[in-house]
Amino acid sequence: MKTQYIIILLVSLFFSLTANAQNVNSVPMSYCVKMPDYKHWQSHNQNLYASYEQYWQLATNTPLAFMVTNVHNNPIAKAIIQLIDKDDELIWQAFTNKKGEAALWVPKEIEVKHALITYQGETQKVKELISTERGINEVSLNVDCQEITGADVVLLIDATSSMKDEFDAIFAVALQMDATIMLARDQGERYLVQEVNPENTSMAFTWQAAGGGADTESVDAILMAALKAHEWNTNKVASILYYITDAHPKQTDGASTQLSDVIKYAAEKGVAIVPIAASGLNEEGEYLLQNIAYMTGGTYAWLEDIPENSELHRVPALQNAGQSTELDKYLSVTIRDHSAYNSCTPDQGGGRLDVKPQHLATFTCFPNPSSTQTTLKLPGIQCTLEAYDLSGQLIKQWKTMDEKFYKLDVQDWPPGTYIIKCQTAKEQYRSRLIVVSE
């Protein structure tokens, strides 16, 4: 009888653990597949969040977009770009991402003298800079291939009492990730941010249980403390700070300036901030988190309702082709997406851009840049055309016959730089096309 009782207990324990393991992975959420371009972002802030913008003043900065490539026309990750003013003072500094891209934000009424692009000891000065409305500042450095992989990841989890309905499930998912875990409270409490030892997680729940007092939280101070508490590894392709919170921003004296400093500091360290909104987030918090994501090269995501939650989740104004998933999958996929880097290896495989060092003939596109349609001037013999973005991802593939001129519609393509290849039976031709927003 005792043996049967023990067996029943063991079976019950097994199913309990199995159910808990399933619940750990069942944190439904959605995310923006792609953030909007700058023109639509300005409109988004002006039309939806004008009252918050009056205080936080985040949309007053203007971005300059850069694309940095090497001698093989491959993107360079972790190149340093600096904007210098007329007094030779540093305005903004940023690292390029895996696509060789970076956006540097110029404060209102500051004049940029030139940009400095540095990688592997080589520095190039760019004096004639192109505004975002006109396109991208393209820079080619005389450097060879890179061997750089991986991502440096921090998961910053709001640990105040308002998160009690979701904290356990979120924390359980975080423990599965290869990442540094930090908990966030607020100024004046027992800690502002605190790193968690994964080998001793019981203390984390004790910290969370005490909760927070105020309805608003110092988002600016929390983020700056987290950024400075971690030693960011610049030898990784990407650095990512996920911020899971329902915080209502606190408008304290100097908070808007401090938040601008947070965004600037993140750029200097090459950190993309990726907010994940939890239940209870208000409209001002949504505005703030979305702007932080946009200005640091991150994206925006939000948790969704589950039966156990006592609070409903806010559906964001910025959905932008929102796609549903689960938290553990989202973290794994976005970490991989930020850190998967197309270095100059002889064989890329998988339908990616062939970057073998070789001499290639060229053809022209006009107009270039283009926002709607461009004409390809081809060699006049049958060829297979392929379009790639600068991460090496195949965007479009099609065949031509004997055309010398081919009209290509690009109005639905995201703004950026693309490599167009024309492969004939004997030779490969290549051209570079810049797509801009209307």
Ordered by where they begin, the domains of the chain are: 27-35+149-339 (3.40.50.410), 67-136 (2.60.40), 361-435 (2.60.40.3080)
The radius of gyration of the chain's CA atoms, rounded to the nearest angstrom, is 24
Distance CA 343, CA 173 (A): 31
SS3 74: coil
Q: Is 350 exposed, middle or buried (0-12, 13-18, 19+ CB in 10 A)?
A: exposed
> Smallest Cα–Cα separation from 77: which of 85, 66, 86?
66
Q: Report DSSP state, residue 199.
A: T
- pTM of the prediction? 0.73
What is the tens place of the pLDDT at every residue in 214-228? 567 889 999 999 999
| CA distances in angstroms from 44 to 53, 150, 246, 294, listed in the order given | 11, 33, 21, 12
Distance CA 76, CA 98 (A): 7
| Strand partners for 285 | none
Structure tokens at 45: 């802030």
Residue 347 sits at the vertex; the CA angle it makes with 344 and 352, to the nearest 5 degrees, is 85
The answer to whether 109 touches 198, Cβ cutoff 8 Å, is no
Give one word for 137, left, alpha or beta, with left for phi > 0 and alpha for psi -120 to 50: beta
Residue 121: its pLDDT value, please?
A: 82
What is the tens place of the pLDDT at every residue in 73-120? 788 899 999 999 999 999 999 999 988 899 999 988 899 999 999 998
The answer to whether 127 touches 110, Cβ cutoff 8 Å, is no
SS3 287: helix
Residue 47 sits at the vertex; the CA angle it makes with 111 and 251, to the nearest 5 degrees, is 70
- Please count the other Cβ atoms lying within 10 Å of the Cβ belonging to residue 359: 5
- Both ends of the chain: CA-CA distance in Å? 78
Positions in the chain short of pLDDT 50: 1-2, 4-25, 205-207, 209-211, 213, 345-360
